[in-house]
A and B are shown apart, each in its own frame.
Chain A
């Protein structure tokens, strides 16, 4: 059971470049989300999805797009990278809404540097 798989693990981008961070889970979780982790600021929610075809913004959505065409995949797109997007990005999933008490399963993270 792979759990939550994130790729790539490391990435360096130039300002203005675009890229997609991949996230896939094999647990049939309905709920998926993206967080960024910055020193001293903990984890902040970027976007989330409660099921295929449904997405919504979190706390810090600007500069990021998401889509959810399947239950398994939840990619995060940076359309025009900026140095302020240098961070560690985590994807997380859990069972359907109302079962948040089970907690989340996290991927191992993507460390992104924008120069």
Chain B
């Protein structure tokens, strides 16, 4: 079956530090890959996505590249802000349907 594995958190960084959150996946076919963000007390919001190999999704300074050879979709940001403190979820949608499979989530805490 499909699965998503994320690095465990929490990840604690100082403001303006470089962020990487690792995500690897197992899936049949050619899934679409997503990063969702959940701010405190809120639902999940789509942050970025990539639908085929070598695609790069980007939004709000965050980037992730769909690497089929390593089955990875790592999230990066060059300079984090306190407002980026949230839980980040990596997810995939199998090509045969619409269901999303989520990773366990990674909590990011950014200190001033």
Interface set of A (CB-CB < 8 Å, partner B): 4, 31, 33, 35, 40-45, 48, 50, 58, 90, 92, 94, 96-101, 103-109
Q: Are A101 and B49 in contact (CB under 8 A)?
A: yes
Q: How many residues of B contact A (CB 8 A)?
A: 21
**B105 is contacted by which of A42, A50, A97, A100 (Cβ under 8 Å)?**
A42
Chain B residue with minimal CB distance to A35?
Answer: B102
Q: Are B102 and A101 in contact (CB under 8 A)?
A: no
Interface set of B (CB-CB < 8 Å, partner A): 32, 34, 36, 42-46, 49, 51, 89, 93-94, 97-100, 102-105
Q: Which residues of A contact B43 (CB under 8 A)?
A: 4, 90, 106-109
Question: Can you list 10 A-B pairs with a CB-CB distance of less than 8 A?
Answer: A42-B102, A43-B89, A90-B43, A100-B32, A100-B99, A101-B32, A103-B36, A104-B46, A107-B43, A109-B43
Q: Are A97 and B44 in contact (CB under 8 A)?
A: no
Q: Contacts A101-B51, A106-B44, A108-B43: A43 and B102 contacting too (C-beta < 8 A)?
A: yes
Q: Which residues of B contact A40 (CB under 8 A)?
A: 104
Q: Are B98 and A97 in contact (CB under 8 A)?
A: yes
Q: Which residues of A contact B46 (CB under 8 A)?
A: 103-105
Q: Which residues of A contact B34 (CB under 8 A)?
A: 103
* Cα separation A31 to B98 with both chains bound (whole Å): 8
Q: Which residues of B contact A97 (CB under 8 A)?
A: 97-98
